[in-house]
A and B are shown apart, each in its own frame.
Chain A
Amino acid sequence: MKLLLEHAHVEGIRYYDTYRKHGGYRSVEKAFKMTPEEIVEEVKKSGLRGRGGAGFPTGMKWSFLAKPEGVPRHLVCNADESEPGTFKDRYLMEFIPHLLIEGLIVSSFALGSNMTYIYIRGEYAWIVDILEQAIAEAKNNGWLGKNILNSGFDCEIYVQRGGGAYICGEETALIESLEGKRGNPRIKPPFPAIQGVWMRPTVVNNVETLAAVVPIINNGGEAYASIGVGKSTGTKLLSVCGNVKKPGIYEIDMTQSVEEFIFSDEYCGGIPNGKRLKACIPGGSSVPILPANLLLKTAKGETRTMSYESLSDGGFASGSMMGSGGFIVFDEDQCVVRHTMTLARFYNHESCGQCSPCREGTGWMYKILKNIEYGKGKMSDIDLLWDIQRKIEGNTICPLGDAAAWPVAAAIRHFRDEFEWHITNADEAQNRNYGLAHYADPIHVPAGA
């Protein structure tokens, strides 16, 4: 099922003429015959959930936008995409940039944003050029600028390069950075919907979220909602990496089982080199890692599917999250301790340093994990790690603190024996990995769910 990437591989789709020939900008024509409220209503009906990570219903987010008289409002597209394992927005913007621009025009009209920003990850330098060219083409053809389609609605889209920090993907840090300040997350409330960019009401949405507005308007909210399953409507882009035969970008309707997604030739094609599946992080580095058994089946023994609901079934005790769709697969040769250390290093490096638990706790966790990985760990370190992550989680300004705590918590929760083995067999652990162990065994439900 392809909605977003349907034409992504058509030769020349990056350019306006080809894009238009394949039905491009139809949604703008349709949208400008609707009222902004009707567009918001369609998005609500579609059941679209934010694709940036939190999965918040987009229609609802849009309806929270404050509309004080005489105050401009802004739509900001979050293209900062820096979560390890996540590279879907990059693909979309690189191959089919006009889809995003089209979605932005419709959404700007719905929200009343005359000045819309794309805040893009600084390292995506070449994509800035692609987007700016697409914007220029759209403008030359009358889809942007003053009085679009004689509707009286003006809209400009600006591309702003990010400052090179993961934290600038957090929506309030993004807003600060967009304003030219240090990218520190703001303390909420007030929320961006009330006071965002320059203290004006602002909606921040992910690239994929805004691109999905195009098929929603083209086909109607209900048609979009009929795709998918339950509250996981429409299609989702997944960026797959790690030990699979076919890493890359997949657009799925979220009805597949996880097993099918990893092993079928239509998707990831299984694990290469005859290795076996050990673990997986299904939604970008911040979400809990799951051992193979809990990945393929829920704790209740049901088949786990690729939907928001199913991936989070069991909560953090035995489930994970859809997150941003960064699907990272580990085979039996991968070391969970080393991997957890790498992630801890990342969050330590990326913490903005504003609040004490995240600033200090992330570095502490990294140092302890480094000790364990390099054979200097103590058994008490495991409980200490657990206690540190517990004291960070929920006690910080922004969710980066949680995102740093969860991977450590999940690794200890599900792979504690691997940590213990690393500590008791320090020398051996320098030369070989723990291996598959029992992680692929028939389901065992961890204690203390």
Chain B
Amino acid sequence: MSEQPKFKVTIDNITVEVPAGTTILNAARMIGGDVTPPAMCYYSKLEGSGGKCRTCLVEVSKGSEKDPRPMPKLVASCRTTVMDGMEVKNITSEKVLDARKGVVEFLLMNHPLDCPVCDQAGECHLQDLSYEHGAATTRYEFDRRTFEKEDLGDYISLHMTRCILCYRCVYTAEQLTNQREHGVLDRGDHASISTLLGKSLDNEFIGNVIDVCPVGALTDKTFRFKNRVWFTKPVDAHRDCPTCSGKVRLWMRGDEVFRVTARKDQWGEVEEWICNDCRFHKKETKDWVIEGPSKISRHSVISQGHYVGVKKAPVLIDKVIGKDPKLLMDIHSISDVNRPEVELSKIAGPAHSDDFKNE
């Protein structure tokens, strides 16, 4: 077997060696931490995904050792492969940060921001994205876009107003099932996820579209409004399933299984696809062999301040511009229950009631 050539790529002044053919995004994921561009549409397990949302734009300041010219435009890091000697700027580029702010604004512009009644809240990538890269206010002063309601059947609920048209669910249905029944209808800002003639989605693996959806556009009807995800406890479990690997994550409260999902990695991607039977029908503890609490590594409220396994770039601090966590709004001003003397940005991770109890 011939040795795979390795390319050196430098992202925000940190150099890694990656196999030829690796994308900038995946190289950045190897470094981890803040230099990893956010990705709302790319999904490593879905062929052809990526390139659409434009949140992962980066600046290529040097094309390669051979051809050092910079690339004229920002490029989608998820769809651009590295060249040997390439130099990339992500959070060290003002241009990138500015463009990304724009993209976040575009994504949020027509978003209903109905997080209080959205089942995805707490594990929503759009929430994370806007928290990390967005502005606190919107400049959009028009009515937000609405859609006719469409019923996808008994298991999957579609809220088109929340959709960011990442196409992940389309690729999932295309690549996981033998008959894709939904797709994108119409174009431009009236494009929508839809089935032709109101068919319901019916395939034993179609439930996976819920897991790939970065927002609350596709959610689990069997879990609908049953609980907030941060009140449930993720537990890894498995069963002997004739259809899929049976390796799942149970979302429990006490002894009750509220929801079953696939296990996700630190980038929020499904590790192994699971079947509808495991997802929608096995809601009893006795259906499962419990392995233990899941390690949640995303910056989400689910882990309630206990981040496990987040890879921090070792040499990041002195090399890239530091980013203090930004607060979207000062909650002191709207609630006098809180204690204004506590400096919220100094609390590591999401604020916990303990942080306010004693000084």
Q: A395 to B188, Cβ gap below 8 A? A: no
**Residue B357 at the A interface, CB < 8 A?**
no
Q: A361 to B106, Cβ gap below 8 A? A: yes
Task: Return B310 CB to nearest CB of chain A, in Å.
Answer: 27
Looking at B45-53, B248-256, B343-351, the stretch in contact with chain A turns out to be B45-53
Looking at B10-18, B73-81, B238-246, B325-333, the stretch in contact with chain A turns out to be B73-81
Task: Give the CA-CA distance A349 to B191 in the complex, in Å.
Answer: 11
Contact of B184 among A182, A187, A367, A397 (CB under 8 A): A182
**Residue A437 at the B interface, CB < 8 A?**
no
In the assembled complex, which residues on chain A have CB atoms less than 8 Å from the CB atom of B167? 354
Q: A391 to B165, Cβ gap below 8 A? A: no
**Residue B19 at the A interface, CB < 8 A?**
no
Task: Give the CA-CA distance A348 to B187 in the complex, in Å.
Answer: 10
Task: Return A445 CB to nearest CB of chain B, in Å.
Answer: 25
Task: Return B186 CB to nearest CB of chain A, in Å.
Answer: 8
How many residues of chain B are within 8 Å of chain A by beta carbon? 34
Contact of A391 among B52, B102, B184, B188 (CB under 8 A): B102
Contact of B187 among A165, A356, A394 (CB under 8 A): A165
Q: A355 to B142, Cβ gap below 8 A? A: no
Q: B187 to A351, Cβ gap below 8 A? A: yes
Task: Give the CA-CA distance A392 to B105 in the complex, in Å.
Answer: 11
Convert B170-191 into 0s and 1s, putting 1 for each residue whose CB lies closer than 8 angstroms to a CB of A: 0000000000000110111111
**Residue B320 at the A interface, CB < 8 A?**
no
Task: Give the CA-CA distance A167 to B186 in the complex, in Å.
Answer: 13
Task: Give the CA-CA distance A360 to B105 in the complex, in Å.
Answer: 9
Task: Give the CA-CA distance A52 to B188 in the complex, in Å.
Answer: 23
A183's nearest neighbour on chain B, judged by CB, is B187
**Residue B213 at the A interface, CB < 8 A?**
no
Q: A360 to B189, Cβ gap below 8 A? A: yes
**Residue B109 at the A interface, CB < 8 A?**
yes
**Residue A312 at the B interface, CB < 8 A?**
no
Q: A352 to B106, Cβ gap below 8 A? A: no
In the assembled complex, which residues on chain A have CB atoms less than 8 Å from the CB atom of B139? 384
Task: Give the CA-CA distance A24 to B106 in the complex, in Å.
Answer: 53
Residues 376-406 of A contacting B (Cβ, < 8 Å): 384, 391-392, 394-397
Tell me the interface secondary structure of chain B in the complex.
loop
Task: Give the CA-CA distance A356 to B191 in the complex, in Å.
Answer: 12
In the assembled complex, which residues on chain A have CB atoms less than 8 Å from the CB atom of B79? 187
Q: B52 to A395, Cβ gap below 8 A? A: no
Contact of B52 among A182, A355, A384, A394 (CB under 8 A): A355
Task: Return B7 CB to nearest CB of chain A, in Å.
Answer: 16
A357-B165 contact, Cβ under 8 Å, with A348-B189, A396-B54, A397-B51: no
Q: A350 to B188, Cβ gap below 8 A? A: yes
**Residue A362 at the B interface, CB < 8 A?**
yes
**Residue A364 at the B interface, CB < 8 A?**
yes
**Residue B121 at the A interface, CB < 8 A?**
no
**Residue A359 at the B interface, CB < 8 A?**
yes
Residues 393-444 of A contacting B (Cβ, < 8 Å): 394-397
In the assembled complex, which residues on chain B have CB atoms less than 8 Å from the CB atom of A391? 98-99, 102-103, 105-106
Q: A364 to B109, Cβ gap below 8 A? A: yes
Task: Give the CA-CA distance A391 to B103 in the complex, in Å.
Answer: 8
Q: B188 to A352, Cβ gap below 8 A? A: yes
Q: B73 to A354, Cβ gap below 8 A? A: no
**Residue A12 at the B interface, CB < 8 A?**
no
A357-B191 contact, Cβ under 8 Å, with A364-B140, A395-B102: no
Q: B103 to A357, Cβ gap below 8 A? A: yes
Q: A394 to B74, Cβ gap below 8 A? A: yes
**Residue A145 at the B interface, CB < 8 A?**
no
Contact of A359 among B73, B98, B188 (CB under 8 A): B188
Contact of A187 among B51, B140, B186 (CB under 8 A): B51
Q: A362 to B57, Cβ gap below 8 A? A: no
Residues 93-135 of B contacting A (Cβ, < 8 Å): 98-99, 102-103, 105-107, 109-110
Which B residues have a C-beta under 8 Å from some C-beta of A?
A: 50-55, 57, 73-74, 76, 79, 98-99, 102-103, 105-107, 109-110, 139-140, 142, 164-165, 167, 183-184, 186-191
Question: What 7 pairs between A and B have smallest CB-CB spacing?
Answer: A391-B102, A353-B191, A187-B51, A360-B106, A351-B188, A363-B189, A356-B106
23 interchain pairs, CB-CB under 8 A: A167-B187, A182-B183, A182-B184, A348-B189, A352-B191, A353-B184, A353-B187, A356-B53, A356-B55, A357-B54, A357-B102, A359-B106, A359-B191, A360-B189, A363-B188, A364-B140, A384-B139, A391-B102, A395-B57, A395-B74, A395-B102, A396-B54, A397-B51
Besides the contacts A355-B52, A392-B102, what 11 more A-B pairs have beta carbons closer than 8 Å? A167-B187, A353-B165, A353-B188, A359-B191, A360-B106, A364-B142, A384-B139, A394-B73, A397-B51, A397-B52, A397-B76
